[in-house]
Structure 1
Amino acid sequence: MTERNRDAASISFEAVGKAFAKPGGGTVHALEDVSLRVEPGSITGIIGRSGAGKSTLLRMVNGLERPTSGRVLLGAHDVGTARGRALRDIRRDVGMIFQHFNLLASRTVAGNIAMPLEIAGVAKSEITARVAELVERVGLSQQANRYPAELSGGQKQRVGIARALATKPKVLLSDEATSALDPETTQTVLSLLKDINRDLGLTVLLITHEMAVVRDIASHVAVIDGGRIVEHGPTHDVFIAPKHATTRSFLSGVTGVKLPAFVKSRLQNTPSEGGEEVIRVTFFGQHATDPMLAKLTGELGIEVNILAGAVEEIGSHPFGNLLVSLPAARGEEARRYLQDHNLNTEVLGYVG
């Protein structure tokens, strides 16, 4: 399928706030002063814990929620003020993938995919051709006449993706689309989304609570905490040098960057005589596979104990995190050596 959708649209959140009235009185502020631009054609992940405000933010892009303050722009269109036909046109430009699929049990795969086109009043012949293209794109040509009850979780999500693409949107929203799937199926769905982004040029905005999903698919990431964006930027840059405690907490859940419990329980804020300094060493780009710790020991005679670590890939960039301990008395010397060789270091604490 070589057809390319219409030009991707940017998404801009400009000083967005959202307040909800409490049933018993008072107000809950779900979002406060959120400013973020999602570049056209990018895959941007918004990561946050439950209740952080990420779902509310996502629902503003297609007008399911309206901001209490600020603006949400899809391209040049103000979503929050759109009504009637203008809002319907915006929603045609926005496809939505849901966590729990939201398929109609009484409709076949083809019937579920056709539904947005039927609602839009598209001719039957065009619907038939479009559905055939979409089931092929998501790898479900053999299942076109099956019902949701006959499908696996991954197949159901593929139907959801095809349905979201039916109206040839400019933007694809993903609401925790992989959180109900097993790890292997998650990878196939993420791979499909990357292919769609590449082939069709769509802007993809996804929300998740899993940093591994951001690592595997997103070109950009925004971290939301307590209704505010606390950090954002290219995924590679954020992984290399996380600035906010919430970001570092999420990164600690990615394989290879979590302190072993026996070390974490002994961690102190100040060094003790003869103790060890615990540091995170971040490798990236061409330095990700360099044997710098071996060189540190060989050239400076500083013994290094590796506590945890891994080398992975962020986009097309190698990326590694190592948690190590070394003599606290030589910590500054070691960190200066590593930084002189273009590696990032962060002191996590000290153990006796």
Structure 2
Amino acid sequence: MKTESSTGAAIIFDEVGKSFPKKGGGQVTALEGISLSVEPGTITGIIGRSGAGKSTLLRMVNGLEKPTSGKVLVGGRDVGEAKGQALRDIRREVGMIFQHFNLLSSRTVFENVALPLEISGMSSGEIKKRVDDLVARVGLQELSARYPAELSGGQKQRVGIARALATQPKVLLSDEATSALDPETTQTVLELLSDINRDLGLTILLITHEMAVVRDIASHVAVIEDGHIVEDGSTYDIFTDPKHPTTKSFLSGVTGVTLPEFIARELTETRPAGPAREVMRITFVGENATDPLLAKMSTELSLQVNILAGAIEEVDARPFGNLLISVEADRADEARNFLQQNQQRTEVLGYVS
């Protein structure tokens, strides 16, 4: 992966490591050898379990944490080396929204959004115009004079988003911004972030532990485990062809395709003696993803196919489906060859008598 500033990437992590002092002496490693390029105008999700290091990684983009080794570049500038005015300039170009909103309870919606502009010394007339525009963009113009205690969780997060946009940043960081919200509110906040990305051309870097959030909003994803990135790529490629066990584990909760329990109980890794059926997963992708390939396969090969479970989804505006089937074990090679010739991926899950 290229990490030179010449790539034009909005954010570059170049062999980044981070260690913290350990109680009683020594060091604990939070991140090691992180290399990742975030291209301008994209939405990139970093997913990992609690303690994987994703929050530490995010906080390096605006200098809240400094790398122990390697570099973090924002717009070609080294955040870890920046100090004083140079660091303040970077931070003005990097907005951040938080899991628990971080609003000031004594200030109204308008005043919370205005705060970073007041700190920057902007005139009151300019502040009013920009804040009014931002409050309208997030759909809260009728609540501008309300206080945080009078708002729902989703409304508070909209205020946090408006505030993060106040300094007209080029990069927006999202620190588990939807994890404290209910599913319906989460969807509206994600739609708002997508609109902002499209309308303003902002680069968005978000961290989450929910693969459904990545599916619904991100064009790219990196999976982090124990301080290392174990897999990264386009969201579509990761969803349709995951390589690492951690990625597969995250995906198992969002594809909605699992073997029926009575099949799972009988499944064996090796083919049993006597008549048997091979159980396989088919991932339908590409231009043939919505074609009736199973019907075509059954007709052309005179093959009996049992459909066990399935689902069709859309990722990054492209369809893909997961289907679990069983076929006669003696003819399973024919079935897999047919599907692979039609650009579909297959995975043998096991055998049943």
TM-score band (shorter)? over 0.9
Matches within 5 A, 1:186-205: 186-205=186-205
1:266 and 1:15, CA in 2 relative to 1: closer, same or farther beyond 3 A?
A: farther
SS of residue in 2 equivalent to 1:156 = helix
Partner of 2:22: 22
Separation in structure 1 between the aligned mates of residue 278 and residue 189 of structure 2, nearest angstrom: 41
The structural deviation recorded for 1:25 is 2.4
SS of residue in 2 equivalent to 1:307 = strand
Q: String of CA shifts for 1:217-268, please: whole Å, max 9, x gaps.
A: 1111111111111111111111121111111111111142333444344433
Separation in structure 2 between the aligned mates of residue 230 and residue 135 of structure 1, nearest angstrom: 39
Separation in structure 1 between the aligned mates of residue 18 and residue 115 of structure 2, nearest angstrom: 31
CA contact (8 A) 2:286 2:343 kept: no
Partner of 1:181: 181
Report which stretch shifted further, 313-322 or 268-277. 268-277
Separation in structure 1 between the aligned mates of residue 126 and residue 109 of structure 2, nearest angstrom: 17
The structural deviation recorded for 1:9 is 6.4
Which amino acid is the alignment partner of residue 344 of structure 1?
A: R
1:27 and 1:303, CA in 2 relative to 1: closer, same or farther beyond 3 A?
A: farther
1:314 and 1:152, CA in 2 relative to 1: closer, same or farther beyond 3 A?
A: same
Q: String of CA shifts for 1:41-95, please: whole Å, max 9, x gaps.
A: 1000111111111111111100111111100000110001111111111111100
Which amino acid is the alignment partner of residue 278 of structure 1?
A: V
Which amino acid is the alignment partner of residue 22 of structure 1?
A: K
Which amino acid is the alignment partner of residue 212 of structure 2?
A: A
The structural deviation recorded for 1:289 is 1.5
Matches within 5 A, 1:261-276: 261-273=261-273, 274-276=275-277
Which amino acid is the alignment partner of residue 345 of structure 1?
A: T
Separation in structure 1 between the aligned mates of residue 329 and residue 228 of structure 2, nearest angstrom: 37
Partner of 2:254: 254
CA contact (8 A) 1:9 1:203 kept: no
| 1:341 maps to 2:342 | yes
Separation in structure 1 between the aligned mates of residue 25 and residue 293 of structure 2, nearest angstrom: 59
1:304 and 1:27, CA in 2 relative to 1: closer, same or farther beyond 3 A?
A: farther
Which amino acid is the alignment partner of residue 68 of structure 2?
A: T
CA contact (8 A) 1:256 1:308 kept: no
Partner of 2:310: 309
Separation in structure 2 between the aligned mates of residue 245 and residue 349 of structure 1, nearest angstrom: 18
Partner of 2:283: 282
The structural deviation recorded for 1:292 is 1.2
Q: TM-score, length-normalised on structure 2?
A: 0.94
The structural deviation recorded for 1:96 is 0.4
The structural deviation recorded for 1:296 is 1.8
Partner of 2:3: none
Q: TM-score, length-normalised on structure 1?
A: 0.94
Matches within 5 A, 1:102-181: 102-181=102-181
Separation in structure 1 between the aligned mates of residue 331 and residue 247 of structure 2, nearest angstrom: 29
Partner of 1:324: 325
Separation in structure 2 between the aligned mates of residue 123 and residue 80 of structure 1, nearest angstrom: 31
Separation in structure 1 between the aligned mates of residue 109 and residue 43 of structure 2, nearest angstrom: 27
Which amino acid is the alignment partner of residue 195 of structure 1?
A: D
The structural deviation recorded for 1:324 is 2.1
Separation in structure 2 between the aligned mates of residue 17 and residue 264 of structure 1, nearest angstrom: 42
Instruction: Report the identity percentage.
Output: 70
Partner of 2:53: 53
Separation in structure 2 between the aligned mates of residue 9 and residue 190 of structure 1, nearest angstrom: 23
| 1:295 maps to 2:296 | yes
CA contact (8 A) 1:286 1:318 kept: no
The structural deviation recorded for 1:121 is 1.4
Runs of at least 5 residues in structure 2 that lack an aligned partner in the other structure: 1-7
CA contact (8 A) 2:9 2:37 kept: no
Q: Aligned Cα RMSD in Å? A: 1.5
Q: String of CA shifts for 1:3-52, please: whole Å, max 9, x gaps.
A: xxxxx961000001111121122322111101000001100011111111
Which amino acid is the alignment partner of residue 182 of structure 2?
A: D
Separation in structure 1 between the aligned mates of residue 205 and residue 16 of structure 2, nearest angstrom: 17
Q: String of CA shifts for 1:263-321, please: whole Å, max 9, x gaps.
A: 34443321213233222211123322211112222221322222222111111211111
1:25 and 1:302, CA in 2 relative to 1: closer, same or farther beyond 3 A?
A: farther
1:295 and 1:256, CA in 2 relative to 1: closer, same or farther beyond 3 A?
A: farther
CA contact (8 A) 1:41 1:202 kept: yes
Instruction: Tell me the matched-pair count.
Output: 345
Which amino acid is the alignment partner of residue 162 of structure 2?
A: A
Separation in structure 2 between the aligned mates of residue 251 and residue 191 of structure 1, nearest angstrom: 21
CA contact (8 A) 1:9 1:171 kept: no
SS of residue in 1 equivalent to 2:125 = helix
Which amino acid is the alignment partner of residue 276 of structure 1?
A: R
Separation in structure 2 between the aligned mates of residue 181 and residue 308 of structure 1, nearest angstrom: 31
Partner of 1:3: none
Which amino acid is the alignment partner of residue 245 of structure 2?
A: A
| 1:214 maps to 2:192 | no
